[in-house]
Structure formats: structure tokens, C-alpha cells
Amino acid sequence: MRLRTGMGVDAHQLVDGRPMVMAGVSFPDEPQGPEGHSDGDVACHALCDALLSASGLGDLGEIFGTSDPQWAGASGSVLLGEVVARVRAQGWQIANATVQVIGNRPKMAPRRREAEQVLTGIVGAPVSVSATSTDSLGFAGRGEGVMAVANALLIGD
Ligand code: MG
């Protein structure tokens, strides 16, 4: 049995008037959201890169290049579903994945279980969601942006 781990990191700037979607969950009351080519859901993007790196398929930029109109504006959830399909098509099973959201907003704690359910549904394997702040340090601590770190474990034959 082959086991492969992978990791992914993503960050986006937070700007006024953009919808806040994080870890597949919408936060309609947030005044700011991630700037980006898509919805800027850093949790989904980090999970994509964790799965892609574990499977050796590359990374998000390589697969969904910003110049490719097919994926222009695609939500993080849609990209994650596509990555899961591609990883499975290579013969991998996904054992589990984890993602940690790093920043001041959105407040993940009240929505954490919901996010886990949404992401677990997309990935087809348990996805754990956690969150942390940075004690006011760096761009995340100043509220200029939000980031996420993820990992994934794949099982092969
Ligand atoms: Mg991104």
C-alpha cells in the first residue's frame, strides 16, 4: 500500500465589497472578502494544492491557469471538486485532509462544523477545519489578508 502526503498554502488580500466565502461556507455579513481570480476561498485553494502535491499532479496555478477561461471565476468549491476527480482518476483514494484558516476574519468557530460537512462532502473523505489568529502579527494579524494551510493523505495500491 502506498501512502502519500501533500501540503498546500494559499493567501489572498481582503478588500471591501467582495463576498466572503471561506472553506466552502458563505459569510454574507462580512464587509470584506478575498480579492482574487475566483472567490478567493483560500481554504479550498490550499486543500486543492495539498491534494495535487500528494498525487504529484502539480499545483493549482499549473492546472487552472489564470489565463484559462474555462476556470475563470470558478469557486473554490468547484475547483476542489475538479481536483478530487483528477486525483481519483489517477487511482488514489483520499484518506483525509485538514485545513487551518489563519487570520482575524471570518470567525470560523461558529461555522466550523458546517464547513467540515461541506468540505467532507466535496472531498468524499473526512476534512477537518480549524482556525487560528497570528497575535496581530503580519498581514493576517493586521487584517490585510487571510491565509490557509492544508494537508492531505492519499492511499494508493
Ligand atoms: Mg488562491
Q: CA 77, CA 100: separation in Å to the nearest integer?
A: 16
Q: What pLDDT shows up at residue 23? A: 98
Q: What pLDDT shows up at residue 67? A: 73
- 37 CA from centroid of ligand 1 (Å): 8
Q: What pLDDT shows up at residue 133? A: 95
- 93 CA from centroid of ligand 1 (Å): 24
Counting beta carbons within 10 angstroms of the beta carbon of residue 150, is it exposed (0 to 12), middle (13 to 18) or buried (19 or more)?
A: buried
Q: What pLDDT shows up at residue 114? A: 98
Strands 127-132, 93-102: parallel, antiparallel or unpaired by DSSP? parallel
Write 132-135 long-range contacts (CB < 8 A, 24+): 132/100, 132/101, 132/102, 133/102, 133/103, 133/104, 134/102, 134/103
The grid coordinates of residue 89 equal 482518476
Candidates 151, 146, 145, 116; CA nearest to 130 is 116
pLDDT tens sequence across 43-84: 999 999 999 999 999 999 898 876 778 888 889 999 999 999
- 10 CA from centroid of ligand 1 (Å): 5
Q: What pLDDT shows up at residue 36? A: 81
| Residue segments in the chain with a per-residue pLDDT below the cut of 70 | 66
Q: What pLDDT shows up at residue 1? A: 87
Q: What pLDDT shows up at residue 88? A: 98
- 36 CA from centroid of ligand 1 (Å): 7
- 2 CA from centroid of ligand 1 (Å): 29
- 23 CA from centroid of ligand 1 (Å): 12
Are 95 and 154 spatial neighbours (Cβ–Cβ below 8 Å)? Answer: yes
- 45 CA from centroid of ligand 1 (Å): 5
- 91 CA from centroid of ligand 1 (Å): 26
- 116 CA from centroid of ligand 1 (Å): 19
Q: What pLDDT shows up at residue 71? A: 83
- 34 CA from centroid of ligand 1 (Å): 9
- 1 CA from centroid of ligand 1 (Å): 32
Candidates 38, 39, 52; CA nearest to 97 is 52
Q: What pLDDT shows up at residue 157? A: 85
SS3 assignment for 74-98? CCHHHHHHHHHHHHHHCCCEEEEEE
